[in-house]
Every structure is written in structure tokens, then in C-alpha cells.
Amino acid sequence: MWIPPTVLGAGLMLAVLIALGRRHEARSIFQPSRGDIRVPGDYHPKPQDLFIDTGNGAIHGWFFAVNRDAPTILYIHGNADTIVQRLPVIKGYIGLGLNVFIYDPHGYGKSEGTAGKSNFVSDAFAAYRHLTEQMRIPPGRIVVLGQSLGGVPALRMANSEPVAGLILEGTFTSIRQMARDRYPLLPLWLLASGDFDNEREIRRLKIPLLIINGTADSTVAPYHSQRLFDIAPKPCEYIRIEGAGHTTMFETAPDIYYGAIARFVQSAVARRAR
């Protein structure tokens, strides 16, 4: 079959644009940080330093053990962060009597390899398997917390593993919608992949969900959290922290923030135990 050269040329140009768009997308999504990965000398309790073999290089994490019988938060942080940057918020979870495991995905902190979509998701499952298989923590006593970009693997885990509950903090609806937000005058969202579609994942959820966001979030607009709440299966709890930014909810209103976390974790774990 004969195809006019103009059609072939247009098709080739479209393929090139899509390839360039996907490359730009990956660079925009992942901005890995290395930094100085050390726990301050006065930090208590001292974490267990862990390197987890993923089959594609080791990832590094810290496990803060408060009480063997306490629920555990599996914390999946967002972009441009390391486990060190999240120490202030984790200190509050420890104060609630919760165990916490936080790790850096490939390309971040002390973790090996390169940041990327597939690694970012599979690293979360490697962390989960370490908790349940190596550390023998019951899945029903684990609550997954996905902060910002970390909401992507957190949602997938909540839909495939028997964890007690899911917390989403400052998470977006989809990469395509984020592209619309950031480049409103350019149709770059047409070139964005549909890989990180949290709207699709959240509709399948069958476990308790808590959504938290700051009303002054300039990184992920607050309407993303509202949209996720609107389409999430109920019951689902939604907490808005007035005046809080993307990562400052725990500082802006600590009583509201940590109170919501404590109530949700206790309720989700108790429900799972029935």
C-alpha cells in the first residue's frame, strides 16, 4: 500500500515528539538527591540501617523501632527528597508510638542505581517484602503513606498487598494533569504517558484511606486531593490543613496533622484485625 510522503513525515515527526516528550517527562518527574545521609547525633531512637537487595541494586533505608507490637508506617517519600529531609515529620510519628520504615528509591541518597518509573514502583514493593518477610511484620499492622510522588507506588501497593490502610499526602491525580497545570499554554499533556494515573488506581481501592493536603500547596494544587477524595470508594477521610504548603502540613498544624494520623492508623489496624 502506497503512503504519501507527507503522511509518513507527519507520522515520523509525531513519533519523535512523543519520544522527546517522554524523555522530558522522566527528567521532570525524577530529580534525585544524594546529600549527606546521616542521622543527627541527638536523634532518638537511633534507626536500624538497612540495605535491601532489589535484584537491580540495593536501596537504603532506616527502620525506627518503637515497639515490636506497634503498627508500622511504611513511608514512601516524594521527589527531590531523601530520608534525611523527612526526619522532622518522622519524629512526630515516633512520638505517637509508631514504628516507621523509610527508604530512598534507586538514585536517591545512598541507594544504588538510577531513578526511573519502574524502579520507583518496584522499590516500594521490595521495601514491603523486607518488612513482611525478613522482619516478620504482619501486613495487617502496616499502614502505607505515600507523600507526593510517593502516592503512586503507595496506591499500587494498597491495591495488591493486604496492608491495613493507606495515607496519601499532597498526591496528584495523574502525570497528564500535572503537565496541564505546569504548562497551561502548551499541549504537552498530550505527550505525557498514562503510567502514573492515580485516579485509575484509587477507584479500585478496598482499604481505609486518609487524604491530607495543604491549602497553600504550590507544587501539587489542592484540587488534586479533592478530586481523589471525590472519586475514592467510601468511607474515606479528607483533611485539609489551612495555610500549609506541600511538605509543611505537620509544621503548620501539628495537632490536626498528627491527630488525624494517630486516629486513622489505630482505626485501620483495628479494622484489619477483625
pLDDT digits (tens, 9 = 90+) for 40-59: 777 888 999 999 999 999 99
pLDDT at 210: 99
Q: What is the mean pLDDT of the chain?
A: 88
Cβ–Cβ under 8 Å, residues 253 and 244: yes
Average confidence (pLDDT) over 235-260: 98
Pull the grid cell for residue 28: 521532570
pLDDT at 3: 52
Average confidence (pLDDT) over 57-71: 96
What is the pLDDT confidence band of residue 193, given thresholds at 50, 70 and 90?
low
pLDDT at 80: 82
Pull the grid cell for residue 183: 504548562
Domains of the chain with bracketed CATH: 5-273 (3.40.50.1820)
This prediction's pTM: 0.88
- Strands 209-214 and 236-241: what pairing? parallel
| H or E, element range at 102 | strand 99-104
Eight-class DSSP state of 46: P
